[in-house]
Amino acid sequence: MVDVRKSGTAQLLADAEQSILFTAVRPGLVMERGEGMYLWDTDGNRYLDFIGGWAVTCLGHSPAVIREALVRQSSTLVNASPAFYNKPMIEFAKLLTGLSGYDKAFFASSGAEANEGAIKLARKHGAVNLGGAYEIITTVNSFHGRTLATMSATGKARWQSLFAPAMPGFKHVPLNDMDSLLAAVDGNTCAVMLELVQGEGGVHPVDADYLRRLRELCDERGMMLLFDEIQTGLGRTGKLFAAEHYGIQADAMTLGKGIGGGFPLSALLTRECFNLFEPGDQGGTYTGQPLAMAVGQAVVQEIVDRRLARNAEAVGFYLENRLREVEHTYRLSPVRGKGLLLAFDLPAPVGAGLVAECLREGLLINSPHPATIRLMPPLIAAEEHIDEMMPILCKAMDRLLA
């Protein structure tokens, strides 16, 4: 019995190697099923998920609200065309603008696409209102996506020469360093774009004072302030939007990951005064796609109704404290981050080994840098899941950091 299933997995892995374009080293297993906080592979092994589909599956795996939204919407209208409005598109736009305080929404499928929209909007603002200014300042160590423009916006040194030539019009400054920012701003700057907690960069929050001064600077210069809340958005940091921790509104904000709960969906939100696109400037075959809109509406409403931001804050606080208890034992850095987006540094660059060891023991965690561990479980996580996770993590650290 077990052998039959094993050989099934071996065949799948052989087929994968033969037919999937290589882009990443993946473990030798195939994920088959998910429910709540857990995933199962084709051999029936269970994994407690503290990666959450990369900060995506905020309602856990296979939530009923997504299934119901898909069944309902696909029985009515799957696709009309981006040339027409549809009902879920309008309802979802109203929901998101109402929650966020922005006036207008544009929808796409991936975070990178939403950021492309934000970059275009900032350049449009530069062209219309700032005499042709087109440069956007972003931060060192930031992550904004994998399209060519968003790779250039991303503050990874290695990416500036990867797939050269890079897209011109981006400058990178260290996060939380006002002098560097002031030195980078000139008459050609149309916007500043940043994550409020750098996610892929290793979970580094922006300073409140820096953000306040940045808002003032953008107001003085007429530059757009763009928040990339694709990872922090919708409850993850303990508030619906990370910007609420700071009490500062940007001119445009991008959302992705969590707003679809696992369905490909992203949004660009902006204020009425930046409602600047003309016909033909911006679009996409799947903008406002009815299935995506129905799922987004259901997921976001569920996050609000179940107060999952508050849960992320409470359970994140519990997780932070449990990690603090073992900080000294394993010589870890203090835990950083907000809500259920947390990270800590290891005393040695054994992150990949620790991820592999935890995987063997049925726990999924992420190492965005060789000596950093990041935790971003679904927002439905409870204390019992932290209590289940900690012994596995500690056992793995016992082996690797002894």
Ligand X SMILES: *Cc1c(COP(=O)(O)O)cnc(C)c1O
3-class secondary structure, 49: strand
- Strand bridging mode 197-198 / 204-205: antiparallel
- Name which of 107 and 357 has its Cβ closer to ligand X: 107
Nearest-angstrom CA–CA distance, 199 and 334: 17
Among 373, 276, 376, 283, smallest CA distance to 50 is for 376
Instruction: Tell me the closest approach of the beta carbon of residue 133 to ligand X, in angstroms.
Output: 23
Instruction: Tell me the closest approach of the beta carbon of residue 360 to ligand X, in angstroms.
Output: 27
Quick one: tokens of 284?
A: 């996409």
Helix 290-305, helix 87-100: angle, nearest 10: 40
Nearest-angstrom CA–CA distance, 129 and 157: 31
Instruction: Tell me the closest approach of the beta carbon of residue 76 to ligand X, in angstroms.
Output: 27
126: Cβ contacts below 8 Å, ≥ 6 apart: 132, 133, 134, 190, 191
Instruction: Tell me the closest approach of the beta carbon of residue 11 to ligand X, in angstroms.
Output: 30
Dmax over CA atoms of the chain, in Å, equals 71
Q: Where are any strands of DSSP class E within 197-321?
A: 197-198, 204-205, 224-228, 252-255, 266-270
Interface mask toward ligand X for 143-162; x: CB under 6 A:
xxx-----------------
Instruction: Tell me the closest approach of the beta carbon of residue 254 to ligand X, in angstroms.
Output: 7
Nearest-angstrom CA–CA distance, 323 and 395: 13
Q: What is the DSSP string of 184-195?
A: H--TTEEEEEE-
Which member of 110, 139, 289, 367 binds ligand X (CB under 6 A)? Answer: 110
Q: Is 143 a catalytic residue?
A: yes
- Name which of 144 and 385 has its Cβ closer to ligand X: 144
Closest-approach residue to ligand X (CB): 111
- Name which of 144 and 245 has its Cβ closer to ligand X: 144
Stretch that binds ligand X, among 66-74, 108-116, 121-129, 363-371 (CB under 6 A): 108-116
- Name which of 200 and 320 has its Cβ closer to ligand X: 200
Residue among 228, 263, 338, 344 flagged as catalytic: 228
Nearest-angstrom CA–CA distance, 30 and 362: 14
Among 292, 267, 288, smallest CA distance to 89 is for 288
Work out whether 258 is an interface residue with ligand X (CB under 6 A).
no
Nearest-angstrom CA–CA distance, 402 and 398: 5
Instruction: Tell me the closest approach of the beta carbon of residue 278 to ligand X, in angstroms.
Output: 25
- Name which of 312 and 392 has its Cβ closer to ligand X: 312
Work out whether 199 is an interface residue with ligand X (CB under 6 A).
yes
- Name which of 53 and 332 has its Cβ closer to ligand X: 53
Residue among 143, 170, 241, 344 flagged as catalytic: 143
**Count of residues that bind ligand X according to CB under 6 A:** 15
Stretch that binds ligand X, among 104-112, 239-247, 284-292, 313-321 (CB under 6 A): 104-112
Which member of 195, 313, 345, 357 binds ligand X (CB under 6 A)? Answer: 195
Interface mask toward ligand X for 111-150; x: CB under 6 A:
xx--x---------------------------xxx-----
Amino acid, res. 377: P
Interface mask toward ligand X for 53-92; x: CB under 6 A:
----------------------------------------
Q: Is 257 a catalytic residue?
A: yes
- Name which of 111 and 205 has its Cβ closer to ligand X: 111
How remote is the C-alpha of 362 from its chain's centroid?
24
For residue 25, give Cα distances in angstroms to 22, 46, 163, 352: 8, 21, 20, 12
- Name which of 200 and 357 has its Cβ closer to ligand X: 200
Q: Where are any strands of DSSP class E within 332-381?
A: 336-338, 341-345, 363-364, 366-369, 372-375
Stretch that binds ligand X, among 93-101, 122-130, 175-183, 193-201 (CB under 6 A): 193-201
The residues that touch ligand X, with contacts defined as CB under 6 A, are 110-112, 115, 143-145, 195, 199-200, 228, 230-231, 256-257
Q: Which residues does the annotation mark as catalytic?
A: 143, 228, 257
